[in-house]
């Protein structure tokens, strides 16, 4: 069996003195699309933030390509090939769409940058149309696309998404989920925290359910058929 | 006589250009609400004055020593204030400036406390004595232009872009692989370095300094200049500095006692600040004043 791209073992992390995750284990194969679902406050976002070095580390290991990410700072983790799209989109309001993408690829050669931008414009044609528009005045969905596009400028090996469908209308949500699937198909491993459990389970290759900082269930899209999952996360 | 007065105003305006542009690097470009800028100005003024008075150290070496000391203090100040943001950072840095002012007042054996330091020599750079008002005005102009150019280069550089990214959203900047703490500390250190140069420039011009020069009132004035001129705009800082230096000057000629004129000066600053914040919150020449977006949005 192939060695996993990311392996989390007995991880305990949190914020300052507060422990949120109480010993979770996860294994992410290269090319997988992982969904992390669970109720509010269960520690889903903390799990991806931990991979990205944004939490206090108490115990456990986060091995990514044979390196223990828990020993790295956030800016060093990015250089290892991990990208993170935070909850709430966070685009640079005062810059144009294109400038936001440029910042995402600040360290690239001009030609490579151009080529990657074209790829992102192909993925999100609306961004091409609005390339000279001020990012702060885009719609929520467009800002989410820009935020994902900016993260893709580095062509990461692992893309972490924190609630990509948050606050979007159903049609835009569909589009975002379809694009995430496309990004994954193109070869990027994706780890996504999502409240929309139904959609997340539909597109993922593997899902983790986190409850009170512990893994409550692991499985494929078939998790959606389990009675408990149906009752708790899919509205019966 | 009138020329001397106008040249004096020009020299002071150059000082404020140095102070506001350097403060704008921290406030406007990095988003650090720093109310301790005046402390760095004081460190520069006192370091070069004490070195000149006690050891006869030439101006430019004293100024560089003061600026380096201020930069180190600025960098170190980032550590205790790392988790402070917005208003809390403002309070933390204000506390720092009050501590520095207290040290200047109470470390009498070094600073002579409230008696101040008289007889600071006029500068001489590579044998060229800057001992007249016109020469000092030229010196001020050169210094202000130099500071402006350096800061413009910095804010347009990739490092400057990182600072603006941190200001807009520190988390987003982190997700792009930026060491945000290091960038903020460097910005504060550079801002302090330049403010300290301004301190040396002023101390050797007036030839006397005491701790009252570095009070909270001065902080408020420089802060107002940045806000009126426009944050995240070096040109805005120049406009704010020149405007607020010159605007209250006509008050001098009113037939009122100086105690009233002083109060009117403060009232005028306050009025201008309120008007700008109400009608032009981005400042006279704020960020993106000359930038056009396709959706016609300017901020």
B282-294 pLDDT, tens per residue? 899 988 777 667 6
pLDDT, average across residues B147-162:
93
Q: Please check whether residue A96 lies inside any domain of the structure.
A: no
- B175 contact A CB<8A: yes
Q: Please check whether residue A227 lies inside any domain of the structure.
A: yes
* Band (A213; pLDDT cuts 50, 70, 90): very high
- B161 contact A CB<8A: yes
Domain at A162, CATH number:
3.40.50.300
pLDDT of residue B299: 47
Count of structural domains, chain A: 1
User: Which residues neighbour B253 within 8 Å (Cβ) at sequence distance 6 or greater?
Assistant: none
* Residue span of the structural domain in which A29 resides: 6-89+157-233
Of residues B158, B288, B295, nearest to A94 (C-beta): B288
Size of interface A-B (CB pairs under 8 A): 67
ipTM: 0.74
Determine contact, residues A217/A203, Cβ cutoff 8 Å: no
Determine contact, residues B21/B234, Cβ cutoff 8 Å: yes
Closest-CA residue in chain B for A130?
B294
Q: Is B177 left (phi over 0), alpha (psi -120 to 50) or beta?
A: left
Q: Residue A132 and residue B294: Cβ atoms within 8 Å?
A: yes
| Angle of CA points A124, A130, A134, to nearest 5° | 120
Q: Residue A75 and residue B178: Cβ atoms within 8 Å?
A: yes
Q: Please check whether residue A180 lies inside any domain of the structure.
A: yes
CA dist A172 → A118, A142, B90 (Å): 22, 9, 41
Q: Please check whether residue A16 lies inside any domain of the structure.
A: yes
Which of B157, B167, B177 is the best substitution to test chain A (most A C-beta atoms within 10 A)?
B177
**Distance separating alpha carbons of residues B283 and B261, to the nearest angstrom:** 26
What are the phi and psi torsion angles at B104 (to 5°)? -60, -35
- A75 contact B CB<8A: yes
- Gap from B177 CA to chain A (nearest CA, Å): 4
Determine contact, residues B29/B155, Cβ cutoff 8 Å: yes
Q: Please tell me whether residue B254 adopts helix, strand or coil conformation.
A: coil
**Distance separating alpha carbons of residues B296 and A201, to the nearest angstrom:** 41
Q: Please check whether residue A127 lies inside any domain of the structure.
A: no
Closest-CA residue in chain A for B177?
A75
Q: Please check whether residue A37 lies inside any domain of the structure.
A: yes
Q: Please check whether residue A138 lies inside any domain of the structure.
A: no
C-alpha distance across the termini of chain A, in Å: 36
A118-145 pLDDT, tens per residue? 999 999 999 999 999 999 899 999 999 9
A22-52 pLDDT, tens per residue? 999 999 999 999 999 998 899 999 999 999 9
* Band (B134; pLDDT cuts 50, 70, 90): very high
- A170 contact B CB<8A: no
E strands of A4-70, at which residues?
6-15, 18-19, 24-28, 33-37, 56-64, 67-68
Q: Please tell me whether residue B21 adopts helix, strand or coil conformation.
A: helix
The whole-angstrom distance between residue B93's C-alpha and the CA centroid of its chain comes to 14
């Amino acid at each position: 069996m192939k060695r996993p791209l990311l392996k989390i073992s007995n991880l305990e992390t949190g914020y300052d003195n507060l422990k949120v995750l109480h010993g979770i284990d996860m294994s992410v194969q290269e090319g997988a699309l992982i969904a992390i679902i669970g109720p509010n406050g269960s520690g889903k976002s903390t799990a991806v933030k931990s991979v990205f070095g944004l939490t206090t580390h108490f115990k456990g290991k986060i091995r990514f390509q044979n390196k223990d990410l828990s020993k790295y700072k956030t800016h060093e983790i990015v250089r290892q090939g991990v990208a993170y799209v935070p909850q709430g989109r966070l685009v640079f309001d005062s810059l144009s769409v294109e400038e936001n993408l440029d910042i995402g690829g600040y360290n690239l050669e001009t030609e490579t940058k151009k080529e990657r931008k074209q790829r992102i414009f192909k993925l999100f044609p609306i961004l091409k149309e609005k390339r000279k528009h001020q990012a702060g005045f885009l719609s929520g969905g467009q800002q989410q696309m820009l935020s994902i596009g900016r993260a893709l400028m580095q062509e990461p090996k692992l893309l972490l998404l924190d609630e990509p469908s948050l606050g979007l209308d159903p049609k835009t949500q569909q589009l975002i989920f379809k694009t995430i699937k496309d990004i994954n198909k193109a070869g990027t491993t994706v780890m996504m925290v999502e409240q929309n459990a139904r959609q997340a389970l539909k597109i993922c290759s593997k899902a983790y359910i986190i409850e009170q900082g512990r893994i409550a269930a692991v499985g494929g899209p078939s998790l959606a058929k389990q009675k408990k999952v149906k009752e708790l996360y899919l509205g019966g | 006589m009138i020329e001397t007065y106008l040249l004096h105003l020009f020299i002071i305006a150059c000082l404020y250009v140095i102070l506001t542009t350097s403060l704008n690097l921290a406030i406007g470009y990095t988003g650090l609400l720093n109310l301790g800028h005046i402390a760095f100005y004081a460190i520069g003024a006192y370091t070069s004055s004490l070195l000149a008075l006690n050891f006869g150290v030439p101006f430019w070496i004293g100024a560089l020593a003061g600026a380096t000391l201020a930069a180190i203090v600025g960098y170190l100040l980032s550590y205790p204030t790392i988790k402070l943001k917005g208003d809390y950072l403002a309070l933390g840095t204000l506390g720092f400036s009050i501590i520095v002012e207290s040290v200047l007042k109470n470390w009498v054996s070094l600073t002579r406390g409230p008696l101040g330091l008289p007889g600071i020599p006029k500068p001489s750079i590579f044998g060229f004595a800057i001992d007249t008002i016109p020469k000092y005005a030229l010196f001020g102009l050169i210094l202000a232009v130099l500071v402006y150019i350096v800061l413009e280069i910095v804010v347009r550089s990739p490092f400057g872009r990182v600072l603006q990214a941190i200001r807009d959203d520190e988390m987003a900047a982190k997700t792009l692989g930026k060491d945000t703490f290091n960038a903020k500390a460097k910005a504060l250190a550079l801002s302090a370095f330049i403010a300290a140069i301004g301190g040396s420039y002023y101390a050797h011009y007036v030839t006397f300094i005491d701790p009252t020069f570095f009070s909270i009132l001065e902080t408020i004035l420089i802060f107002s200049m940045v806000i009126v001129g426009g944050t995240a705009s070096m040109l805005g800082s120049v406009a704010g500095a020149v405007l607020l230096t010159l605007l209250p000057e006509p008050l001098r000629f009113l037939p009122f006692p100086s105690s009233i004129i002083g109060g009117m000066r403060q009232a005028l600053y306050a009025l201008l600040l309120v008007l700008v914040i109400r009608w032009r919150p981005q400042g006279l020449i704020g960020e993106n004043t000359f930038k056009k977006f396709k959706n016609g949005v300017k901020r």
